[in-house]
Every structure is written in C-alpha cells, then in structure tokens.
Amino acid sequence: MIKSILKKALVTTALLTVATFSAQAKDTIVWWDFLGGGDGVRMKAMIDEFNKEHADTVEIQATTLDWGTPFYTKVQTSAAIGEGPDMMTYHLSRLPLGVSSGALSEITPEELAAAGIKGTDYAATNWKAAQVGGKQYAVPLDIHSIVLYYNKDLLKAAGLLGDDGKPKGLDGAANWDAALAKLTANGVQGLSTATADGATLWRIFYSLLNQQDGQFMTADNKFLDGANLDKAVKATTEMASWVKNGWLAPQTEYPASIALFTSGKAAFHINGVWEVPTMVDLAKNKKLGFEWGAVQLPTFYDHPATWADSHSFAIPNNKGKEVPAAKRKLVLDTIAWFDKHSLEWAGGGHLPAFSPVREGADFKALKPNSDYSTLAATAAFDPVSVLAGVASPVYDAAGNFLIPAVSGDLAPKDAMDQMRDDLQGQVQ
Amino acid sequence: MLKSKRAEMLTAFVLIAPFVLVYAVLFVYPTAKMVQLSFTNAPLIGDGDFVGFDNYIRVFKDRLFSTAVWDTVYFVLLTVIPSTLLGLLIALGVNRLKGFTQSLVLAAFFLPYILPVSVVYRIWSWMFDKQFGIAQYVISAFTGGTHVAVFRTIPLFMPSVAFITVWWLVGFNVLLFIAGLRNISTEIYEAASLDGASRFAQFRRITWPLIWPVTVLVMTIQLILQLKIFDQVYLFANGGRTDATIVLVQYIYKWAFQKNQGGMGATVSLLLFAIIIIFSVLQYQLLRSRGEK
C-alpha cells in the first residue's frame, strides 16, 4: 500500500517536473481517472499510445485516484475552487449527483459537433444516460454489465450445452430453475454469485425487474410504485428460490463467489464483465481446469434486459477558471480519439460504447466479449436520481434489504416494502 | 514598573501569537463554521440557507440515528473495558519475564498494532470467510458442520468486530501499562513480601492502586477512540446490511459524502462531539475521584 502510494507520488512528481520543463508550445491535458484495477493497465497503455501519436502537439498528464466516493468527493471539492482536471472519467450512474452539486460542465451540441461526436454513434439508452435534464454532461466510453459465466464441461455433462458452445434452453424462469436443479449435484452448485454483496444482488434484481418492464423509480420520484412493487417482489422471490432450493449459497463474499466458479464448484457464475480478464488469464495459464464462456443473462420474463452502467468522460465545472474554448475543443478531440480507439479498452471485458467499434469486425473477433455484446441493445441503466448510482443510497438499500430477502431471513414482500419506504423517506 | 509589565505582556503576546493564530485558523474557525453549518441546508461544498433547528429535528426523528447511537455505545462497551483489562493482564505477565524473552513476547503482542486497518480487515475476513476461511474448522466443531458467515450475521457482527479491535489495539495498552508498572518501586514489593503479603494481596494493595492513574488514562484514550469508531465497522459491513450495524461516524459519512448534505453531516458531527465530551469528562472525573479514595 505504502509502496504503491510512494510510487504514485514519484510518478506524479516526475510527470509534473517533465511538464514544467517541457516545451511551452505543447498543449497539456490534465486527466484524472479511478481505474486502479486490471482495466487501469489498459488505460495507461492507451494514454501512452495517445501521447506518442501526438508527441509534438498534446500531452496527457494522467493521475489515477481512489475509486468510488473518494473520487467523486475530490472532483467536487476541487471543481468548487477551480482546481479540477481538464477531463476525467465518470460513471454515468453517478452523473445526476455530479450535476446537482455543480461539479460538471455542460457539453454543448456545437462543441460535440465540432469534435465530430454524434449521438447516433452510441446505443440510444447509453447516450441518454449521459444526459441530465436534456443536457449532455458526458461522452460514454464503454458499457459494462453483468454476464452469465458458465462451465462448459459441467453444462455438457448435463446436456445444457448447444452445438455452438453456448448454453441452451435457459430462457424463462422455469427453464432456468430446472437447469440449476439439474446442475446441482456431486458437490457442485448450480450458481455462484456474491450473495453477501448488495451491489451484485442489485444488478441481478434490476435486470429481472426490467425484464418485466418494472420501474424502480418513476419520473416523479416514486419508488416501486403500484404494480412495480409486485414485479419487484416477483424478481426477489425468484432470486430467493435459488438459495431456498440449495442451488446458490447464501452470504457468499465477492472473492469467494469467484473462487467457487474458478475451482469448478459452481456451474454458473453471475458477475460483472470486469472479471473477464480474470478468467482469460487463468485459462491462459492453464489454471482453470475447464472450458469457460460468458453470455448475456437469460431472459427470465417478457423480454431481454440487463443492468448496465457506463464509464464515460466528463469535464469538470472549474469555478472561477473559465476554460478557453480552444482547450475544450482539444479535450473533446481527445475524448473522440479514445472512443475511436476503444477496442483496446474492450480487453478489460467492457463493451465499447462507440458503436462503429462495437459493431466492427475486429471487435466481433474478440472473444468472449462479442458473445455477450448483444446486451448493449437492451441495457437497463440505473434510475436517474441523486439517490441512485454507484455507491449511492440505492446501493445501500440493496445491501440492507435484498441480502436478507435472498438469504431467506426476510420475506420478499416485506423486504420490498421496507426498501420502498426507506428510499421514499430519503426523497426531498 | 508598569511599563516593563506592559513590555512583558507584549513579548508574551508576540510569542504565543503564532500558536493562537494557527489554533484559531485550524480549530476555532472550523468549529464555529461547523456549528453555523448545522443550522443550514448546505450541500457538502458551499453555503446553504438558514433552516433553524430543522436538521436537529430531522436527526432525532431518524430511526437510523438511534441505531447509530446504540451501535456505537454497544461497541464501546464491548471494547473499552475488555481491552483495558486485557492490556493490564498481559502487561503483568510480560513484566515478570526478563531480557530477550520479554522483548520477544512484548513484540508479539505489539505486532498487530502496527498493521494498517485494511490489512487487519483482509486477514480476518479471509480467516472467517464462509466458504474458504480457516476459522470455519473451529466454528464447525461447535455448530456441527455448518459454516457461519460471521460478519454477515447481525447479532455476531459487533462482538466479532470488537474482538478483532481488541486483538489489534491491545498492544498499545500493554505498552502504557508496562511503563506504569516499571514506575512502581521494587522496594514497596520487597517490604510487602517481608511482611508476608501474598501475591494477590500485593496486587490488590500495591499494584492496583498505584497503576490506577494509568488505567484511567488508558480507559479514557480507549473511550474517545472507540466512540469515533469507523474503519473496521465500515470495512467489515461494506456492501452488506450496513444500516443494521451503522455507527455514528459512518452515519456522518453517509449524510455528508454519500448524500451530499453538509448541513446534516455537521449536525450529527456536533452531536457526536457533545457525546464524546460528556462521556469522557464524566468517565475521567468519576474514575479519578474513585482512585483518590
């Protein structure tokens, strides 16, 4: 920890020193991100590539900060005194809070057009998730979601693997339940997922809710209103039944849930696409011991839908320091460059938000990403509210009410009633 | 005469001015600002409008606030006295050892104290992991083979986090007690054993009264520290049923940083500040007067 902080400090100092002494003619872009994981390595490679390509004109000075609440607090405090970066990464789900606290700067249609960024180059729901009140505040970089990881060997033995190497006959809650029942045998459980982690359960729950056209929060700030409550109870009851029937272990921590799958003790695993590199690396080093794959979540109810969030680029609203138009143009050109080069970013499991890349031949050849890329068309983004999004009160509520409901400590109906009341009480 | 006194005053003022200035800027001003913030609906950054006692009414009406107060008090009860007594017990034992053995044993008890809280969390969360944790072998022996998700079972949460906290921090108490024990002159013990006092009588009549000031100090330090508990509770409950195990500082964090309501954050902070002052002054006075009897 201390070592990595020292390293970061040294790198930052080195960067600053280089910046101070380098030629004045070169433009610099100060960049903040929260990508400290496996995907951060890929982002650094992309930044290096950008800097090399623009060696005579532009240089990105990147700093990686702590993910989550610390990052967004820092952005907000620094923007308030005009010391924010020129650009930064941002979760689309956290955009509403950023806008309401005045930390984000609006990107005008003229500016977007000047940089050649078009809304039609992105999935419609994705582009809309980058807006608050009809105004554009960010440009999406990727779509990340949850997917169904599966153990091909176990599925084949159970007769659930199609000729194309993908699971078959999982659509419809009854079929899915039957598959889990069949796969749970000989010390193997049908499914593993982080049942002790509210965020993971939220992503599954929100997918199941949207598959029934349920609305978690209506436009007039009503949580689980009317028939939406029944749909939520239905989704929760389904999830709780997996535990009740012994197909899914309750109270499993995030790392342990991955270990259950990678050690062959679970046939299915539901988790974010960001764990794709984990599986790829294990398989490459021959440590996995079975063939694996990943597909879009099955359709339990009326139509496909999967929870999704997006990493995007945003410009902070640096108070008292008006950014010259030329600099903003440069930042937007840079954003456009990264979106066009987002194939490399897809190596982290993410789906490029930029449709020409996502639908291009190179991406189609990228496995397993292209096996689940269809989910982008039916992605269900978090409700647009200051109460929703990464590390928000909604995520907390998922921990407080979904976990006991799924583990069987609380009846699904009671859990949803309490969740609604808790969140409704926080609306101002 | 008068003149020189005035000159002296001036010198004194110049000399303490830097401290007073720093104290005023870094402590008095922020405190006053916090009190003022607690009467506004300010967001995390920037000013808000005056709302009178609305924030206070809202806090006292909030079910989560009473949970936070109770959980904090419960945690204090589980940690302060046990870690003080355990510290004294270990110190008494270590004090009887000599030379290298003493240093070795002392180091062994002190080692956890130098670990950062994130490391402590990692160690214990893996040891108690429901699927793969090594401690599950011990738990299985009591439950007849069933694994228990210790940190995800609400009634077990506070006691186990308190246990880990005591394990983590007791080394510091041991250090303070050893320093205290070494201050007690050996002559007193020699005189006592010549008079035929038993070991227990020696402890009761000599060690306990003479170590009392250190005990009071340790308990007060522990009390203030544990009333401000955040790290361990936050880490072990993260992602789970956080509302059931929320403590006061976590409640402040939730308002100020997660919900972006600086006014509410300031209100709860002020209440915690008051609670800490009342508790620690009360405890210190109570214990000190008892010791003087």
DSSP letter (8 states) at residue B147: -
CATH architecture of the domain formed by A2-143+310-364: 3-Layer(aba) Sandwich (3.40)
Output the pLDDT for position B293. Answer: 44
Residue A23 has pLDDT above 50, yes or no: no
The H-or-E segment that residue B230 falls in is: none
Output the pLDDT for position A28. Answer: 93
Looking at the 3D structure of chain B, how many domains does it have?
A: 1
Asked if residue B13 belongs to a domain, the reply is no
Residue A344 has pLDDT above 70, yes or no: yes
For the sheet containing A58-64, what is the strand order? A58-64, A27-33, A87-91, A311-314, A138-140
Across the range A197-205, mean pLDDT stands at 96
Among the partner-chain residues B43, B242, B257, the one whose CB lies closest to the CB of A400 is B242
Domain that holds residue B257: 46-292
Across the range B159-178, mean pLDDT stands at 95
Paired tokens of B122:
């990692």
The mean of the pLDDT values for chain A is 91
Contact across the interface for B240 and A100, Cβ inside 8 Å: no
Asked if residue B12 belongs to a domain, the reply is no
**What percent of chain A stands above pLDDT 70?**
94
ipTM over 0.85: no
Contact across the interface for B152 and A403, Cβ inside 8 Å: yes
Residue B208 has pLDDT above 60, yes or no: yes
How many whole angstroms separate alpha carbon B241 and alpha carbon A300?
27
Banded model confidence at residue A11, pLDDT cuts 50, 70, 90? low
**What percent of chain A stands above pLDDT 90?**
78
Asked if residue B23 belongs to a domain, the reply is no
Per CB distance under 8 Å, which residues of B are interface residues toward A? 43-46, 116, 118-119, 125, 129-132, 149, 152-153, 239-244, 254, 257-260
Across the range A124-134, mean pLDDT stands at 92
Residues 6 or more apart whose Cβ sits within 8 Å of residue B137: none
Chain A residues whose CB is inside 8 A of the B131 CB are: 249, 252-253, 256, 259-260
Chain A residues whose CB is inside 8 A of the B244 CB are: 400
Residue A15 has pLDDT above 80, yes or no: no
Q: Given phi > 0 = left and psi -120 to 50 = alpha, else beta, which region is B121?
A: alpha
Across the range A264-280, mean pLDDT stands at 93
Across-strand partners of A131? A136
**Sequence ranges of the domains in chain A:** 2-143+310-364, 145-308+374-424
Output the pLDDT for position A18. Answer: 53
Is A145-308+374-424 the same fold as A2-143+310-364?
A: yes
Across the range A183-203, mean pLDDT stands at 95
Contact A151, A267 (CB under 8 A): yes
Across the range B103-107, mean pLDDT stands at 93
Contact across the interface for A1 and B118, Cβ inside 8 Å: yes
Contact A61, A19 (CB under 8 A): yes
Contact across the interface for B131 and A249, Cβ inside 8 Å: yes
Banded model confidence at residue A290, pLDDT cuts 50, 70, 90? very high
How many whole angstroms separate alpha carbon A261 and alpha carbon A189?
9
DSSP letter (8 states) at residue B203: I
Asked if residue B16 belongs to a domain, the reply is no
* Fold designation for A145-308+374-424: D-Maltodextrin-Binding Protein; domain 2 (3.40.190)
Residue A14 has pLDDT above 70, yes or no: no
Paired tokens of A339:
């979106």
Return the minimum-mean-pLDDT range out of A17-31, A189-203, B97-111: A17-31
Asked if residue B119 belongs to a domain, the reply is yes
Q: In degrees, to the nearest 5, what angle opens at C-alpha A294 toward C-alphas A299 and A191? A: 70
Banded model confidence at residue B290, pLDDT cuts 50, 70, 90? low
Asked if residue B74 belongs to a domain, the reply is yes
Asked if residue B22 belongs to a domain, the reply is no
Closest approach of B223 to chain A, Cα-based (Å):
28
Contact across the interface for B239 and A196, Cβ inside 8 Å: yes
Among the partner-chain residues A101, A196, A254, the one whose CB lies closest to the CB of B43 is A101
The pLDDT tens digits for A370-412 are 999 999 989 999 998 889 988 889 999 999 999 999 999 999 9
Residue A347 has pLDDT above 80, yes or no: yes
Banded model confidence at residue B283, pLDDT cuts 50, 70, 90? confident
Among the partner-chain residues A196, A256, A260, the one whose CB lies closest to the CB of B240 is A196
CATH at residue B226: 1.10.3720.10
Output the pLDDT for position A311. Answer: 95
Asked if residue B6 belongs to a domain, the reply is no
Contact B260, B46 (CB under 8 A): no
The mean of the pLDDT values for chain B is 91
Kindly report the length of chain A: 428
Output the pLDDT for position B47. Answer: 85
Across the range B152-160, mean pLDDT stands at 94
Contact across the interface for A197 and B239, Cβ inside 8 Å: yes
Q: Given phi > 0 = left and psi -120 to 50 = alpha, else beta, which region is B45?
A: beta
